Each structure stands twice: as C-alpha cells, then as structure tokens.
Structure 1
Amino acid sequence: MTQSIRSKSTIKKTIMNVAVLALMSTAVAGCNRGIKPIVNDPVKLVQIAQPISVLQPVFSVDVGNKKASKKDPLSIQVGYDNGQIVTASRGGDLMGFDKAGQRLWSVNVGDEITGGVALDAFSQTAVVSTRSGRVLAYDSMTGARRWQQQLSGSVLTPALITNNRVVLSANDGFLHGLALQSGQSIWQFATQVSAISIRGTAVPTSLDDKTALLATADGRLHAITTDSGLPQWSRRIGVGTGSSEVERMSDVDGMPIVDNDQLFAISYSGQLLGVDLASKQVMYLNDIASLRSLAVNNQQVIATSLAGKVAAYDRNSGETLWESDELAYRELTNPVMIGNYIAIGDLDGVVHLFNPATGAIVSRVQTKGALTTLQTQNNRLLTQSTTGQVAIWQLAQ
C-alpha cells in the first residue's frame, strides 16, 4: 500500500541541517551562500477513484494575517466552545462569531498575537497571548476586555482554561497559572530550558479535573496541579541522540492526548509513547518523529511524521496497523477524528479524509493557504490557514 520514503533519521538530519545553516548565517553573514540543504518536493496528489461526501461547509471568513510570512508561519488556532467562535490574526485582530458565522464583535489587541485563542463558553472568556508576553482576556460575547497580565516570555500556543485557572507555557521555560477572573499570577513553575529547540510549544491539556499536563522543549511531560502549581510527576518522552546540540533536540510540541485512562505523546526526536495511567506502566515506545499532536479512536493512535507519513498503531499494543506515504513531504497538520474518519491538512490548504480501517483517502475539501492545526468539536472541523482563512465544516449526515 505504501511506497518507500526516506527514513526518519534522514528527514531529521535534513531538518537539523536547515537549523544549523540558519544559525551559521546569523553568525557569519554570507558564509553559506553556496550551501543549499536537501529539500524534498511534496508528492503530487492522486485523484480519488470514488470520493464520498464527508464534510459540508458551514462558513469561511478571512480574518487577515498580514504579519505572517513563510519564514515565520506560526499557527493561530480558532477558539471554539459550545457554539461560540473567536478567531485571531497575527496582526492582533480578534473577532467573535455565532455558530452560523455571523460576526458579533471585533477588536484589536494592539500587538501581534503569537498563539491561538483559548475559549471557555461557561465563563464566556477568550484568552490570547502576544509577542511581547502579554496575556489578555476578553468577554467572548461582547469583545470587552476583562484583564491583562505581563509574563516573562511570549506564549506561542493557546492557554488551557480549567478549574478557574488560565494555564500557559511560555517560551522562556516558565509555566504559569493565572486566576481566570482577574488574571492575577497564582503560580509559576520553572522548567529546564534547552540551548536549541524547535520554535513552538505544546498546548497544555487536562490530565484530570485538578491536574494540567504540559510538555516542554527538553522532551519532558510535567503533571502540575492547576490550583497551586505543585508538581505531581515528570517524565522524559523525547530522547535526542548525536554529537551536537542540534542533533540532541527532543522537543515535545504536539499536545499530549489523555483518553480513557491512557496517555499518548510523541516527540521530535522520534518517540511515540503509550502509558496506562491506572497502572502507571509504559505500554510501548514506537519509533516515529513528529511535531504534531496525535489522534486517537477506540482502536488506534494516529500520527503524522516529519516526512509526511501517516501511520496508525494499535492503541493498546503499539503494533503498526497501516502506513501511508500518499502525502509525503506535504507539511502535514495533526490528525483529528471527525465522525468515523481521520482528517489531515497540508501545505496547499487541502484537508484529506482517511478511512481509519484501511488507511485509504476517501474524500477531500479545500481551503486557502497552508494549514498548520486542525480542531474538531461536536462533529465540526475547524481550520485556520497561515494566510488567515478560517473555515468550518459539518460532518455530513
């Protein structure tokens, strides 16, 4: 079913070479003008023989992204909770929409937004972070600003809103817990800062009602109480090998997944971990490298690799069920489950729908601009491209 593609170690070395050249260019201008890293062309898409209708468009809107560039394509995620929608652009524009796509309000935060929107429909709160390290909270129904807080570093991913706390992971290695109602700093937790890492951090997630799970650039997962910031446990996931700091990068940038008392996480250095939380025992450790979050269903864990491979593993044993390289080198997003299908986006704004039983692509939908992150909720798929195009699709009945 699959074609041969370059190994994970080869792809990792290619990315490392690019990072090394970038570092060299800042130190010695012009010294690498004659050196070009190996770049693999994205594979051409093959027409689906008998496509089926999986997703129906709900609405799309251009929220603007004039500050974005190909050299700095930060992911700006849509805030979506219980029908409320809040979008953000790199230029600092926030917009609130109802579930039908009607715009309710629009404000500008006065700075570049570096992460996405964290949205809590119960408290009607939308939280964003900026390049200068400010965290701002807005009323998600009216757009009125409630509070702002200055952090020691910028935040590149959406916050976690849980248990009356706003939990954030800053790029200077500090984890923060703010009061949801006032923005007051309640706790900070310092983690080890790597000398070199991939730009970006994993979105914090809930381990349980009282505990947040945060991944850091040194390849670790930290379980921390949300009310007081007390560490519960820490575990190394990514283990980089090699003679240089670049080769030893072990970032965990994909959000860990907690599902039915099992934990799944994946690292840039090439480890996919499955843990039984009840027994606290490792179920398996597979060899695949990624900076994207995983997806899970009742039987599988699905990953997209650095090379654009899509792979499905048995969620209990880690056994490889199928692999596909039909999207090799297409700069894939994280996979998500939508109904009975796996959705994955790419650099051309195409969302591919896979049959999880066979690994075959059965449907596609198109938006504008490169996609970096997919989200699903209540049988809806949400995307925002690097060019600022927000689109929402409903699972076909």
Structure 2
Amino acid sequence: MTIFKRYVSLSLMLLGLSGCGAIEYLFVEETYEAPPEPLVEFTAEFEPKTLWRENTGDGSENIYADLSPWLSGDQIYTVDAQGDVRSMSVQNGRRTWRTELEVRVATGVGGGEGKIAVGSQQGDVIALNQTDGDILWKQRLSSEVLAPPQISGQYVVVRTADGRVSGMSAVDGTVLWNYQRNVPLLSLRGVSAPAIVGETVLAGYDNGKLVALSLVDGKVIWEKSVAVPRGRTELERLVDIDANLWVTDELVYVAAYQGNLAAYFIDTGDLIWQRDISTKTGFDVAIGEAVYLTGDESYLWAIQDGTGDSLWRQTRLLRRQITAPTIVGDYIVVGDLEGYVHWVARSDGRFVARQEVGDVPIRSQILVRDNVLYVIDTEGRLTAIQGP
C-alpha cells in the first residue's frame, strides 16, 4: 500500500544566544494510509474562464511558505522566494515594474499609503515605492518575518517569528516600539498577520492569545484567550493562532488551532460568540450570515455568524490540503494540493464548478475583486479567472 505523507512544521525557539535570537525548525513527519480524497464527479453549473496567466518569479519549495500577492488599485503586487518584487496590471498581467531585493522570503507582500513592504527570512523589512518599485528604506528586525507587513498612516506593523510585534515609522523604517510575548517551546510553523483598525493593532499568538495594542506606542489595550492548551503532550497542547484575523471597524474574528473560532468587539475585547473548532489555515466572513472555515483535515465548514451553529460541512475535499476559503458572490472558492480551484455554493456546500490551473499546489488564499479571482501556485504562476 502506498503511504501518503503530510509534514507538520514545529518551531523550536532558542533565544538569548550572544544577545540575539536564533531559530531552528523541527519537522515532524506524519503518515497516512489513505490518500487525498479523489475528485468527486458532479454536474458543473458554470465554467470559469481564464483571463490571463503570468509567471511571477521563482516559486518556493518550502511547503510552509505563503507568497500571497497584494491588490491595490489597478495593480497586483507579488514577491518570489528570492525577493523579486513585481507590479502587474490586473487587466492583463503585464508587468509595470520589477525590483530584485536579493533576500530570501517566506511570506507575501503588504502595503498601503503609497508603499509596499516585504519581510525576509533574515528579519529585514524593506519598503518600496508603490508607483515605481524604488527602495525607500530597509530595516533589520530581531528574527524572520513570517507574515506580510501591515501599513497604516505613518506606521508599519510587523510580526516576527520570535513573538515580537514591532511598530515602525513608514517614513524611514525607524523602530518606534516593540511588544513581545514568550513563544511556546513548541509551535506550528507560521504566524497570522497583524491587523490594524484605526489606532488599534490586533495580533494573534502561538499561545492562543489575542492581543490589542496601541498603534502609537504598542501598549496593551486588552488581551483574550481564544484557546487554552489542553492535553498531556506538547503536540496536544498546541493552540497557535496562525489563521489571519478578519476585521471590520468594530469587530475582529479569530480562530486558533485546537481552539475556538470567535468574534470580539475591538474597542473592549468583549466576546460576542465562539465555537469550538480548529483551523491553522483560515476563514472568510459574510457579516451577519456565516463564517466559512477550512478545518484541519480540509473539511470546509459554514458556521452561522452570531451563534456558531453549523450550517453545513463539505467533507469531499478530505486531505486535499485546501486553502482558506474566499467568498465570491454566491460561492466559496478554495485551491488544493493538485492545482485545482473548487467552487462551492454558499447556500448548501454543493460543488458547482472546478478548474485546474496547474499541476502543483495552491497554498495562498485566493484573492478576488469585481468577480475576478487571482490564484498563485507554488511555482509562482499567477492566474486571473473570471467568475460567473
């Protein structure tokens, strides 16, 4: 019998070496006798149309890298594993500019306020002019940047692998403040990106805590436990918040591995509702209707917003390592480990369309604007797809 393998990365943090932080990664191999769920047959209700496809540089062989693009105006911005940053037209994929940073990268592009920002595996944060790709400044932080930097007003906020959130000047990269929590000895590889709402920074941690900080000085506003470690072994006690937060002006939605999906008021940190469910991949939200979430075994869930009740569960993507879901009109889309994009009805979870965009995994959450999907795979191919 063929043995199919799934790799889970656990990071062992070794701090305080010669006054600086060092990180080593312990990879644990798990085996399954069952392969990914075969593709289910169904009657397609429409046929998605490929608008264009372009190469964005070198993909990443690191199975935990998430080189997600960033959309702004009529451009989409990408970075490859070697730090090659590109600006491309959303209309036809034509390149507007290209800047080679020559740094190793494991996460995607962030941006705002006329700038884009890239973080490196060496801890560099590099800001570029959004219009022409000129490098504006470069700053070295304490450890690897594992989530896209976030920009708001005069601030850049960055989360690094050692549990630190840093507030930086968007003008010149000066570090204005740092907030750090102890990182568990054992944690999943990866972190969620911080989110900025007004003058509040929200950050999820590997110990299951959600923290609200002041954007101005990094002081703690409130802190909540999204998950509490349980179990006898270190593996059973993992409660990382690796899925990206989802925010409005008033609310923040958060989900933890082996923990809860929950919604809080941003101003006070008061809990609105929660549901015991685990994800390290991510989710999308239709306010007042449903939260669509990818579970640990690639089950796709619809959870009622406000109560946490289950609306439906799609189980026929089992072990296909699907991405976080993205809402597209009346549908949900996810990519999988074989390069397929699956369209699922929001109403009941049925399959309505499928498109093969390549033969390598899709790991980044699919972006959507004006009913057009932007899908990047692990070889760096970016595909624009027109929805129904």
| TM-score, with structure 2 as normaliser | 0.88
Please name the residue that 2:227 is paired with.
238
Please name the residue that 1:9 is paired with.
none
Please name the residue that 1:111 is paired with.
103
Residues 182-240 of structure 1: CA distance to partner in whole angstroms, max 9, x if unpaired?
A: 1111111111211011110001123x211121111111111112222121111111222
Cα 1:84–1:246 shift into 2, 3 Å: same
Q: Is the aligned partner of 1:60 residue 2:50?
A: no
Distance in 2 of aligned mates of 1:108 and 1:260: 36
Q: Is the aligned partner of 1:97 residue 2:91?
A: no
Cα 1:211–1:281 shift into 2, 3 Å: closer
Cα 1:185–1:302 shift into 2, 3 Å: same
Distance in 1 of aligned mates of 2:248 and 2:114: 26
Q: Is the aligned partner of 1:387 residue 2:379?
A: yes
Residues 251-295 of structure 1: CA distance to partner in whole angstroms, max 9, x if unpaired?
A: 000112124733321111132123355785434332221112211
Say which of 13, 31, 45 aligns to 2:39: 45
Tell me the amino acid that sits aligned with residue 62 of structure 1. N
Contact 2:169–2:175 at 8 Å: present in 1 too?
yes
- Which SS does the other structure have where 2:82 is aligned? coil
- Which SS does the other structure have where 2:71 is aligned? strand
Cα 1:51–1:222 shift into 2, 3 Å: same
Structure 1 unaligned residues grouped into runs of 5+ = 1-13
Please name the residue that 2:350 is paired with.
360
Contact 2:9–2:189 at 8 Å: present in 1 too?
no
| TM-score, with structure 1 as normaliser | 0.86
Distance in 1 of aligned mates of 2:136 and 2:318: 45
Please name the residue that 1:7 is paired with.
none
Please name the residue that 1:78 is paired with.
69
Q: Give runs of aligned pairs for residues 304-315 of structure 1, distance below 5 A.
A: 304-315=294-305
Tell me the amino acid that sits aligned with residue 137 of structure 1. A
- Which SS does the other structure have where 2:353 is aligned? strand
Tell me the amino acid that sits aligned with residue 159 of structure 2. S
Aligned residues: 368
Distance in 1 of aligned mates of 2:321 and 2:144: 25
- Which SS does the other structure have where 1:37 is aligned? strand
Contact 1:341–1:356 at 8 Å: present in 2 too?
yes
Q: Is the aligned partner of 1:273 residue 2:262?
A: yes
Residues 347-374 of structure 1: CA distance to partner in whole angstroms, max 9, x if unpaired?
A: 1121111111111111122222211122
Cα 1:241–1:39 shift into 2, 3 Å: farther
How far apart are residue 78 of structure 1 and its match?
Answer: 0.4
Point out the structure with the larger strand share. Answer: 2
Structure 2 unaligned residues grouped into runs of 5+ = 13-23
Contact 1:202–1:214 at 8 Å: present in 2 too?
yes
Distance in 2 of aligned mates of 1:91 and 1:27: 20
Please name the residue that 2:17 is paired with.
none
Cα 1:36–1:197 shift into 2, 3 Å: closer
Cα 1:304–1:18 shift into 2, 3 Å: closer
How far apart are residue 57 of structure 1 and its match?
Answer: 2.7
- Which SS does the other structure have where 1:197 is aligned? strand
Contact 1:264–1:294 at 8 Å: present in 2 too?
no
Contact 2:274–2:307 at 8 Å: present in 1 too?
no
Please name the residue that 1:226 is paired with.
215
Tell me the amino acid that sits aligned with residue 63 of structure 1. T
How far apart are residue 73 of structure 1 and its match?
Answer: 3.6
Tell me the amino acid that sits aligned with residue 177 of structure 2. W
Distance in 2 of aligned mates of 1:377 and 1:162: 21
Q: Percent identity?
A: 24
Q: Give runs of aligned pairs for residues 296-375 of structure 1, distance below 5 A.
A: 296-298=285-287, 299-368=289-358, 369-374=360-365, 375=367
Cα 1:116–1:39 shift into 2, 3 Å: farther
Contact 1:239–1:271 at 8 Å: present in 2 too?
no
How far apart are residue 382 of structure 1 and its match?
Answer: 2.1
Tell me the amino acid that sits aligned with residue 393 of structure 1. I
Cα 1:134–1:56 shift into 2, 3 Å: same
